[in-house]
Amino acid sequence: MQEINQNLAEETGLNITHICLPPDSSEAEIIDEILKINEDTRVHGLALQISENLFSNKVLNALKPEKDVDGVTDINLGKLVRGDAHECFVSPVAKAVIELLEKSGVNLDGKKILVVGAHGSLEAALQCLFQRKGSMTMSSQWKTPQLQRKLHEADIVVLGSRKPEEIPLTWIQPGTTVLNCSHDFLSGKVACGSARIHFGGLIEEDDVSLLAAALRIQNMVSSGRRWLREQQHRRWRLHCLKLQPLSPVPSDIEISRGQTPKAVDVLAKEIGLLADEIEIYGKSKAKVRLSVLERLKNQADGKYVLVAGITPTPLGEGKSTVTIGLVQALTAHLNVNSFACLRQPSQGPTFGVKGGAAGGGYAQVIPMEEFNLHLTGDIHAITAANNLLAAAIDTRILHENTQTDKALYNRLVPLVNSVREFSDIQLARLKKLGINKTDPSTLTEEEVSKFARLDINPSTITWQRVLDTNDRFLRKITIGQGNTEKGYSRQAQFDIAVASEIMAVLALTDSLADMKARLGRMVVASDKSGQPVTADDLGVTGALTVLMKDAIKPNLMQTLEGTPVFVHAGPFANIAHGNSSVLADKIALKLVGEEGFVVTEAGFGADIGMEKFFNIKCRASGLVPNVVVLVATVRALKMHGGGPIVTAGVPLKKEYTEENIQLVADGCCNLQKQIQIAQLFGVPVVVALNVFKTDTRAEIDLVCELAKRAGAFDAVPCYHWSVGGKGSVDLARAVREAASKRSRFQFLYDVQLPVVDKIRTIAQAVYGAKDIELSPEAQAKIDRYTQQGFGNLPICMAKTHLSLSHEPDKKGVPRDFILPISDVRASIGAGFIYPLVGTMSTMPGLPTRPCFYDIDLDTGTEQVKGLF
pLDDT of residue 847: 85
Q: Prior bond to 248 cis, omega within 30?
A: yes
Partnered with residue 263 across adjacent β-strands are none
Per-residue pLDDT reduced to its tens digit, 143-156: 888 898 988 889 99
pLDDT over 70 percentage in the chain: 96
3-state per-residue secondary structure call for 519-541? HHHCEEEEECCCCEEEHHHHCCH
Per-residue pLDDT reduced to its tens digit, 58-93: 988 999 999 999 999 999 999 998 888 788 999 999
Q: Which of 70, 50, 75, 163 is nearest to 122 (CA)?
A: 70
Buried b (16+ CB within 10 A) or exposed e, 39-78: eeeebbbbbbbbeeebbeeebbbbbbbbbbbbbbbebbbe
Strand duo 156-159 + 202-203: pairing: unpaired
d(CA 648, CA 449): 56
d(CA 95, CA 126): 8
pLDDT of residue 654: 94
Kindly report the CA angle at 469 between 463 and 474, in degrees rounded to 5?
55
- Residue 270, pLDDT > 70, answer yes
Exposed (0-12), middle (13-18) or buried (19+): which is 648, by Cβ within 10 Å?
middle
- Residue 186, pLDDT > 60, answer no
End-to-end CA distance of the chain: 65
Kindly compute the dihedral angle of the four CA atoms of residues 754, 760, 762, 764, in this order, to the nearest 10 degrees: -150
pLDDT of residue 172: 85
Average pLDDT, the chain: 91
Global pTM? 0.86
pLDDT of residue 192: 31
Residue 355: pLDDT band by 50, 70, 90 thresholds? low
pLDDT of residue 362: 97
Per-residue pLDDT reduced to its tens digit, 665-715: 999 999 999 999 999 999 999 999 999 999 999 999 999 999 999 999 999
Task: State mean pLDDT over 641-659.
Answer: 92
pLDDT over 90 percentage in the chain: 72
Where does residue 318 fall: left (phi above 0), alpha (psi -120 to 50 degrees), or beta otherwise?
Answer: left
Residue 35: pLDDT band by 50, 70, 90 thresholds? very high
Count of Cβ atoms closer than 10 Å to residue 868 Cβ: 16
d(CA 80, CA 90): 7
Least confident of 99-113, 175-189, 776-790: 175-189
Q: Supply the residues annotated as catalytic.
A: 319, 321, 343, 354, 573, 604, 692, 721
Residue 354: pLDDT band by 50, 70, 90 thresholds? low
pLDDT of residue 489: 92
pLDDT of residue 820: 96
pLDDT of residue 205: 55
Strand duo 303-309 + 627-632: pairing: parallel
- Residue 344, pLDDT > 80, answer yes
Q: Which of 587, 706, 637, 626 is nearest to 289 (CA)?
A: 587
pLDDT of residue 126: 93
- Residue 618, pLDDT > 60, answer yes
Q: For 440, phi and psi rounded to 5 degrees? A: -60, -25
Per-residue pLDDT reduced to its tens digit, 359-415: 999 999 999 889 988 999 999 999 999 999 999 999 999 999 999 999 999 999 999
- Residue 763, pLDDT > 60, answer yes
Q: Which of 287, 270, 271, 267 is nearest to 279 (CA)?
A: 287
d(CA 390, CA 292): 34
More confident site: 553 or 107: 553
Task: State mean pLDDT over 525-546.
Answer: 96
- Residue 828, pLDDT > 70, answer yes
3-state per-residue secondary structure call for 467-485? ECCCCHHHCCEEECCCHHH
Q: Which residues contact 246 (CB under 8 A, 6 or more apart)?
A: none
- Residue 190, pLDDT > 50, answer no
Per-residue pLDDT reduced to its tens digit, 130-146: 999 999 999 999 888 88
